[in-house]
Structure 1
Amino acid sequence: MNRIDVALVNPPFWPALHSSLALGLLQGGLEARGYRTRQFSLYLDLVERLGIDPYLKIGELPGVSFFLGDWVFAEAVFGPDATRDEAYFAYARQPDRPDRKVQPLPEALLHLARDLRDEVPAMIARWADALVASGARIFAFSNVFQQAVAGIAVARALKQRLPDCLIVFGGANCEGPAGRVLIEAFGAVDVVVNGEGDLALPAIVKAFLEGKRAEIARIPGCITSETPSDRTVPAQAITCLDDLPEPVYRDLYADLAARGLSETLQPSLVFETSRGCWWGAKHHCTFCGINAERMAFRAKSPETALRQLKNAVKAHRPDRIFTSDNIMDVKYLETFVPMLAEAGLDLDIYYELKSNLKRQYLATFREAGILSIQPGIEALDDDILALIDKGAHAGQHVRLLKGCDEEALECNWNLLFGFPGERAPAYQRTLALLPLLTHLPPPADFTRFVLLRFSPYFERGANYGIKNIIPDPAYRHVYALDDRQLHDLAYYFTFQHDAADANLLPALFEKLSAAVAEWKKAYHYTMLMAGEGEDGELLVLDTRDCAASLRHRLDRATATVARAIRDGATPAKLFEKLEGALSKPEIAAALETLTASKMIAHVSGQYIFLPVEIDAYAIGGRQAMPALRAFKRDAFYKAFPEIAPFKSRRLSA
């Protein structure tokens, strides 16, 4: 192995289904400045040892509630503590939490984690020896999700072997007061970068290799033992993303090939087109803590984004592209997305974006290969959406779910509850709405929101009636730190607040949880589809549990109204749209028919026709979608055999 200047270390439990954009960008930036680097994907040892599914279950799925991946390495950092371990296992088996229902960890998973912990000392020694053999004197560690404890353990082993080396930590677990805790509680960590490392890390490397180690403490964003306790300056942020290098992923793909993992583990290629959040800069969603102190929105030019994406696809031929953006640049809807569609790259791309999308953009997403979106829906009631400052209304969310189904887009979303100020009527309305939507993409879960550091609920909790904010109990079972250090290190918290409808809400939450569970089961075989019949009729197949009838023939007048509210319309807009075509009594009668048959939702002051166009099911989609959509399409034509598929056409506006 050629000797290098900087080792970029990716410890367990990195989310193995993704490449590391941060390390890829840092590697590109360092190499552009002439430094020799290599990425060390230490977590791949555990993927090999455990298999990908057990690895993910230990390192990701327990998530905020258990930190099982951190626990595996805790003894190597904090020393043996049988009492603490017993308390952890008791909590994992019976997580008695007043704030949320949490399923206990399976015994098999706990036994696997315990067995793995016995192997940790040998693993750490092997990793440290390999890092020392690289010749590097600077070791920059990724520290996100459940990487903190493993990273500290490896850093200590490095310091034992190379006392004069420089250990640098960066990532989401280093931001705010957490960075100072890493310095004061764990002596092996020399420098913590608070914020973006694109400019900070090259400056650190330059100072260290030039023998000017004392200057590191003065680099913006760097926290060292010399940094005053009242001073935490964020790192200098990149203002023009076009100036960033293209991320380097060659070491990851080489490691996968060398280990024979290229077929069994095909991580998504993580790509970046923007940073920050343009909506959050105007109205910070009350529960969101993602952007920390870097809310300012910056986006690559569409030309740069497309060029770099083409280069990455050519170099690595990934099965999937996962964009790291918190929110798509709204300008991209008219620039980057159409350009991507025209490029014809045949991609499978995941994007996060704002939920108030107009339907016309969804077809372009599909053509561009943006097949999976996370639109941040969170709620299906206007009162809740206003409460959390989402900047969208429930009608837009219903239309988006329908549009995603029609365009074969995977829609990733959750229904959240537990917000300060929520009232029972909002959830009663949601409960009444859900049975109408079971043919549309369901939420992943109905779950209580988690209080995150940096969110308005955390930073200004008193303004929302939030009190007794304490770190999630899992931290205490893993980290042997004092109360102040635990509080500063934590990102997830529990809290209390006085709910106005405390006597009504728990029962509503139980009903909604059951309704969402039923929705998730029902979606794959539930249909509400409409196709054009003869003489202006609409034919509707309805297999929802709430269906008034299996088959419907909507006469010309009713079908005309249905088409007019296909994408939603207020009563006033509807009457205006159909003026001269139908009389007001005819429109009112049609609305009554559609309401009685549960084919329309009345949300946000709008009527929305809920059936999905049958022709839409000719579009395949990703993964299992094509077979599911073909099944539903065939069911429609069996219900209405008089309509041949070739005669069907999209509903006219």
Structure 2
Amino acid sequence: MSIDLCLVVPPFAQVETPTLGVAILAATCRARGLRVTVVHANLMLAARVGHGCYGEIATSNVASLLGERLFLPHAYRADPAVAFDAPTALPPRLRSTHDAVAPAIAPLLDDVCTRIRSLAPRIVGITSSFQQTLAASAIAQRIKDEAPDTRIVLGGPNAASPMGEALADIFPWIDHFFSGEADIAFPDFCAHLLADAGADLPRIVHCPPLTDMRCSPAPDFSDYFADLDRLGDALPASLPEALPVELSRGCWWGAKNHCTFCGLNGATMMFREKPGATALAELDGLEAKWSIGRFAVADNIMPLRYLTDLLPALAARGKPPTLFYEVKANLKYDQLALMARAGIEKIQPGIESLSSPVLKLMRKGVSAHQNIALLRDCRSLGIGVVWNYLYGFPGEQVEHYAPVAALIPALEHLEPPNDFSPLIVDRFSPYHNTPEAFGIARIAPIAAYRGLFPRHARLDAIAYHFRGNYTTALIDDADTRLAMGRAIGLWRLQWAIGASPQLRIVGADGAPVVIDTRRIATQAQISLPPEWNRALRLLERPHAADDLDVDPAVIAELIARHYILAHEGLLLSIVTRQAQDITEPPAYANAPAARRTGCATAHWAGRTTMPTSLSS
């Protein structure tokens, strides 16, 4: 018996969690009475080449577009009239991975298309984000050749306008392209098409943003788990690592002040959220159904109302689910403590820099001191922090980086960035939309796109990642870049070898002790005098030296021991404390909150974080 709709997740979507947008669409279409099956081609390839090898490609440097390149020989029909440039050269390590995996692609496509044909769907919907465009084309072309009456639809971030229109020019075997949030439009489209197979439907379908998040149901992960079971021991038993959920869309900070480098959301920056009670019921329902209490919240930025409408309810539980969330970096301590009690074990706060002038160039709405305080408080509370250190922003100066390189040895007890990497210009960002306003003379797609698409393709409309024609004082100063890169590399190394340093106050209030295992430490352990403790408490928020009622000799001693930083004219404590020592909000916790920010992008009916640098 045939089904109505087959949704396909191509490589190289991650396999550690289900694909959120497809799972939401499966739920919406099933709610309309459609017979739906999701085929996870990403899981099938990971099982074939190995989880580790697959993950290396899925997370590879976007400058190579290695995942796209692997499907290049299978993505187009043979046509001598269509010319291609030679693909760019791959670094040796990626070339080795490419050559090892390439023989597995054709057999994978055979298996995927056999699986789809066995379902005899009337409609095949394929999602495309990150490095999935050519895999989607290869699957679509085979299905169209073998079952010409099957209606094939491409959706996801890579099909957003104008990318979808440009792909339509070169992928004639794909019938329709969906641009935008398709929660309602796609089920309507399928119902219309199934009712009248000859319906004259537009090739490019533009979907308006969803206005009420309650119309977006909880995702349906049943096919992901069924495919995991079907593949048996070929993939780790630990999968999935978490379940993705979407509780809001858009970015309330970006709607007011769009970060200059953020290309996420496109036309859907408008912020919308599910009520706290709805979000809680969705988390509870998913945990009850799948017996998994780990969630990767895919929101662009945490709704502020959740600090009162959702997190207290989670914190009141004896064992709340564990959550990953994207947040703004200037959260106060009491907010972070609430998040920790509510089960938020890891955050992505969009730190990006420890230089206030560079953060201002980004329009982040935070200072370097707020970013450092966040890292300090998260270490105290046991909250993991995911972040990158970016450089290459128009207007940056050497003096925005050289002082930071000198500070980093003192910060090695705080969670390091994943990388120190150059900015790229992403589609839909202010840098892309109005480059001239930032002194960028010209932008062009990164070189890896050439050779992946025909010469006549409109690469300017297809590409998501661009290079800008500009330079900065830092880019021209190799010594400072090398110093920053080396300092961050050593910082990361301390954590990578499992020897993450400490700078922590431990012990009862009557006899506190400072433990210092940083490489820069002047003393591994010392009793904390009351006047030092008082100064460190006062400096948990940044202050100018002349604003403090503290003996200057105490401040000088704390600076000499690298317990406080003197950075950008202000002093700040970087000493962490035992969580039980700070369960009550410290004095600074009730200070006025600054503005917040975060970044993400839309799936068909969901979203996923996009990289902000070539090495993300």
Which residue of structure 1 lines up, in the alignment, with residue 562 of structure 2? 598
Give me the whole-angstrom Cα distance separating, in 2, the residues matched to 1:399 and 1:599: 13
Corresponding residue of 2:506: 531
Give 1:223's aligned residue.
204
1:460 is matched with 434
Distance in 2 of aligned mates of 1:461 and 1:41? 39
Name 2:338's counterpart in structure 1.
364
Check whether the contact 1:285–1:456 (CA below 8 A) recurs between aligned residues. yes
Whole-angstrom CA distance in 2 between matches of 1:5 and 1:423: 58
Q: 1:487 aligns with which of 434, 439, 460?
A: 460
Mark the CA change 1:533 to 1:21 in structure 2 (over 3 Å): closer, same or farther.
Answer: closer
Output the CA distance in 1 between the equivalents of 2:63 and 2:110.
Answer: 29
Match of 1:307 in 2: 281
SS of 1:18's partner is coil
1:588 paired residue among 552, 562, 580? 552
How do residues 110-509 of structure 1 correspond to structure 2 at under 5 angstroms? 110-117=98-105, 120=106, 122-211=107-196, 213-217=198-202, 223=204, 234-260=206-232, 261=235, 263-318=237-292, 320-482=294-456, 485-500=458-473, 503=476, 505-509=477-481
Cα 1:345/1:248, change in 2 over 3 Å: farther
SS at match of 1:607: strand
Matched to 1:462, the amino acid is E
Q: Per the alignment, do residues 547 and 127 of structure 1 end up closer, same or farther by CA in structure 2, a change over 3 Å counting?
A: closer
1:531·1:649 contact (CA, 8 Å) conserved in 2? no
Q: Is the 1:272–1:324 Cα contact (8 Å) retained in structure 2? A: yes
Name the structure 2 match of 1:109.
97
* TM-score (ref. length: structure 1): 0.84
Letter in 2 for 1:25: I
Match of 1:628 in 2: none
Which has the larger displacement, 320-329 or 343-352?
A: 343-352
Q: Per-residue deviation at 1:127?
A: 2.3
Q: CA deviation at 1:27?
A: 1.1
Output the CA distance in 2 between the equivalents of 1:427 and 1:394: 12
- Aligned AA (2:65): F
Shifted more, 553-562 versus 287-296: the winner is 553-562
The alignment partner of 2:201 has SS state of helix
Distance in 2, matches of 1:113 and 1:48, equals 12
| Residue number in structure 2 paired with 1:24 | 23
CA distance in 1, matches of 2:79, 2:191: 41
Specify whether residues 106 and 179 from structure 1 end up closer, same or farther in structure 2 by C-alpha distance, changes over 3 A only.
Answer: closer
| CA-CA distance at 1:263 after TM superposition | 1.3
The whole-number CA distance in structure 2 between the counterparts of 1:517 and 1:201 is 46
Q: Residue 471 of structure 1: CA displacement?
A: 0.9
Q: In structure 2, what is the Cα distance between the partners aligned to 1:528 and 1:44? A: 42
Say if 1:418 and 1:449, in contact at 8 Å, map to a contact too: yes
Q: Distance in 2 between matches of 1:650 and 1:175?
A: 47
CA contact (8 A) 2:424 2:468 kept: no
- 1:631 corresponds in structure 2 to none
Counterpart residue identity of residue 503, structure 2: L
Query: How has the CA–CA distance of structure 1 residues 652 and 345 changed in structure 2, closer, same or farther, with 3 Å as cutoff?
Result: closer
State whether residues 351 and 389 of structure 2, in contact with CA within 8 Å, keep that contact through their aligned partners in structure 1: yes
Q: 1:344 to 1:174 in 2, by over 3 A?
A: farther
Displacement of 1:303 in angstroms is 0.2
User: Percent sequence identity over matched residues?
Assistant: 32
Structure 2 distance, partners of 1:303, 1:353, is 20
Alignment partners' CA distance in 2, 1:462 and 1:265: 46
In structure 2, distance between residues paired with 1:542 and 1:195: 51
3-state SS of paired residue (2:17): coil
- The SS at the match of 2:189 is helix
2:609 match = none
Code of the residue aligned with 1:589 in structure 2: it is A
* Contact 2:44/2:231, CA 8 A, preserved across alignment: no
Give the C-alpha shift of residue 510 in structure 1: 0.8
Aligned equivalents of 1:481 and 1:194: distance in 2? 24
- Equivalences for residues 71-110 of structure 1 within 5 A: 71-78=69-76, 87-88=86-87, 91-93=89-91, 104-110=92-98
Change in Cα spacing, 1:481 to 1:143, as seen in structure 2 (3 Å) is farther
Stretches of structure 1 that go unaligned for 5 or more consecutive residues are 94-103, 225-233, 576-585, 620-647
2:605 alignment partner in structure 1: none
Greater RCO, CA 8 A, separation 6+: 2
Alpha-carbon shift at residue 78 of structure 1 (Å): 3.1
Output one character per residue of 1:155-190: Cα deviation in whole Å (capped at 9) or x when no partner: 111112221221111001111211012211111111
How many residue pairs end up in the alignment? 581
Deviation at 1:500, TM superposition (A): 4.6
* CA displacement, residues 48-83 of structure 1 (integer Å, 9 cap, x when unaligned): 11111111112x12241212222221111236799x
Equivalent residue runs for 1:548-559 within 5 Å: 548-559=522-533
Q: Displacement, 1:29?
A: 0.9
Q: CA deviation at 1:368?
A: 1.4
Partner secondary structure for residue 305 of structure 2: helix
By how many angstroms is 1:537 displaced? 6.5
Matched residue SS, 1:281:
coil
Q: Give the stretch that moved more between structures: 187-196 or 356-365.
A: 356-365
SS in 2 for 1:421: coil
* Structure with the higher helix share, 1 or 2: 1
Shift of 1:262: 6.7
The letter for the 2-side match of 1:46 is L
The Cα offsets for residues 239-267 of structure 1, whole Å up to 9 and x where unpaired, read as: 11012222111111112112214715324
* 2:564 corresponds to 1:612: no
CA change 1:404–1:80 in 2 (3 A) is: farther
Which residue is equivalent to 1:5? 4
TM-aligned CA distance change 1:650 to 1:346, over 3 Å: closer
Partner Cα distance (1:123, 1:500) in 2: 48
- Counterpart code for 2:575: P
One-letter amino acid matched to 2:346? S
Supply the distance in 2 between the matched residues of 1:27 and 1:15 (Cα, whole angstroms): 18
TM-score of the superposition, structure 2-length normalised? 0.89
Q: 2:207 & 2:63 partners in 1: Cα distance?
A: 30
Contact 1:266/1:319 (<8 A) preserved: no
Cα deviation for residue 46 of structure 1 reads 1.0
SS at match of 1:470: strand
Q: 1:573 to 1:328 in 2, by over 3 A?
A: farther
Q: Is the 8 A contact 1:471 1:493 kept in 2?
A: yes
- Deviation of 1:502 (Å): 5.8
Larger Rg: 1
